[in-house]
Copies of this chain bind each other. A is one copy, B any other.
Amino acid sequence: MITGATIVGVGGLLSLRWADFDSVHALSKSYKNEHHTIEHDQKKFPTYTRNEVSRHNSVDTGVWITFKGNVYDITKFISHHPGGSHTIMMGAGGDVEPFWQTYTVHHANEVQNLLREYQIGVLDPTDHMKELEAKEISKTIGEDDPYSGDPTRSPLLTVLSKKPFNAETPSKLLPPTYLTPTEVFFVRNHLPVPEVDPQDYRLSVCLGTDGDPDNLQVLAEFTLDDLKTKFEPHSVDSVIQCSGNRRSDLKRIKEIKGLDWKVGAIGNARWTGVRLIDLLKSLGIDSEKYQEQIIKHIQMEGLDCDMSGQSYGASISSDLVFDQKKNVILAYQMNGEPLTRDHGYPVRLVAPGVTGARNVKWLSKVILSHEESNSHWQRKDYKSFSPNVDMFNLNFDESASVQDTPVQSAICDPADGERISLKNTDEKSGLSLPVRGYAFSGGGKMIIRVDVSVDGGKSWITAKLEDVPKDERGLPDYTNRNQTYSWTRWSIDVPISDELVKNKTGQMEILCRAFDSAYNSQPERPETIWNVRGVMNNSWHKIKVELTIQ
């Protein structure tokens, strides 16, 4: 079963995407063994250093890329790129191999032939060798390292920390697809990735209502096969967002200990698995029983643990689990494929609308309890505070753990700080800049409006919302206003001011903010919600771009 109204009308998109993915998967497996036939040709072409190449990263400077040690000027090709000019610009000035390792459709012969036309040089052999060595080193990391068993990841991810592995999706990769491709979905690990043999995997369901973590009554154990075959599979399209998403904007105000997430610690995926309520009902635990037994919280433990054997743990409110519409799921699939190791293979919890930290990966235990998880991630982290609270006067016990997340939005494309060159082809209709982003609200709230401003919030233009269900008259259908767990992507053409057109160059600040179906909106300034843990930054998202008009 597919849940949520937001999938209406996107069926076509998905099928397209999966067609692509099949070829991506097939190609990525064989990629390593392939012999690429583009040869260096040091006689004909001049040599460029990496530094020189990297300066050619815009239409103004020319767009150069490298692949297998050759240098190409693809400026003229930008507008012809089948994947859109925005995506191709992500590789500008750099090496495209990492992109092509995920988007392996590029390994087709036609692409290679096409590329040949644009060669203008070869990469300086010293730089090329350095880059190859760095790649080899990362492959053969020491065996004593608890992280040595971690999986290899897509080089497209922006890595924030290697051990534990934490990486976000480059913002420009978010708007193009309703479901974020698994390979580029942000990864937030707290510990090394456990290696799980699917044959040995067991999920325990326990009653722990006396509060003593050592005194658990095991109610049942399930194998992976049990979960897949004994229960009806359910799917839900849901965002998972890290509590620290957009922390970087808080860090600019005052230092915070924590990963420097920009806007890419969020993704939307189709999760498939067993509804936790179905599993509990099979054990005779229904709504009445859970109220009798005062099951207020559902605690979870993961198979990821530190050297002392302490597992990652978290909990959610039991009322979410016992509400069928919330679709809390023990997911064994992500986007139609088995979970990848980084995303919790073989089974993770997906609690739609709830912050990432409670969506426990590599799930080993579900504990029915009258209190929250005792893990420090539940009790001493992922909580917010007043801006006036610092590390020396914070009181974790008084603060509410982050669960449902507030209304959020961000500009994804262009990226903050980007230099953009625009052509003034039609002076009559005015010049504009296409802007794209996402919006989302926790707890099932639907996004009803996204506003964009180029004058610091004095005036607003309303963006076009994608992924919004429509009624028979083509109007927005708000029926699922309380049960929407996927995001709403949006787009808008922002007009360029006459002054900027006249000056032919200048800076432009663009900001966005969203409203959800409870008419909650985002706070204006990150200063006012700065908090010592750097979580829940949902202030208006602002970017600055440098424009050149040709």
Contact = CB atoms under 8 A, between A and B. Distances in A.
A518 B406 contact: yes
Given A400-B478, A407-B520, A521-B406, A388 B443 contact: no
B476 A517 contact: no
B475 A398 contact: yes
A481 B407 contact: no
A449 B481 contact: no
A172 interface: no
A229 B87 CA distance: 58
Contacts of A481: 317, 400, 403
A111 B380 CA distance: 55
Interface in A463-481: 473, 475-476, 478-479, 481
A296 interface: yes
Given A388-B459, A460-B387, A528-B457, A518 B442 contact: yes
B519 A524 contact: no
A451 to B, nearest CB: 5
Contacts of A398: 475-476
Given A404-B518, A479-B296, A388 B461 contact: yes
A206 interface: no
Interface in A378-408: 384, 386-388, 397-407
Given A398-B475, A519-B405, A482 B524 contact: no
Interface residues of A, number: 57
Copy number in this complex? 2
A333 interface: no
Nearest to A404: B518
A517 B404 contact: yes
Given A406-B521, A443-B518, A523-B521, A400 B448 contact: yes
B457 A518 contact: no
Contacts of A317: 479, 481-482
A523 B400 CA distance: 21
A500 B297 CA distance: 49
A404 B482 contact: yes
Interface string A519-534: 1111111001100000
18 contacts: A297-B479, A319-B482, A319-B483, A386-B451, A387-B460, A388-B461, A397-B475, A398-B475, A400-B476, A403-B481, A404-B482, A404-B518, A406-B520, A443-B445, A521-B529, A523-B523, A524-B524, A524-B528
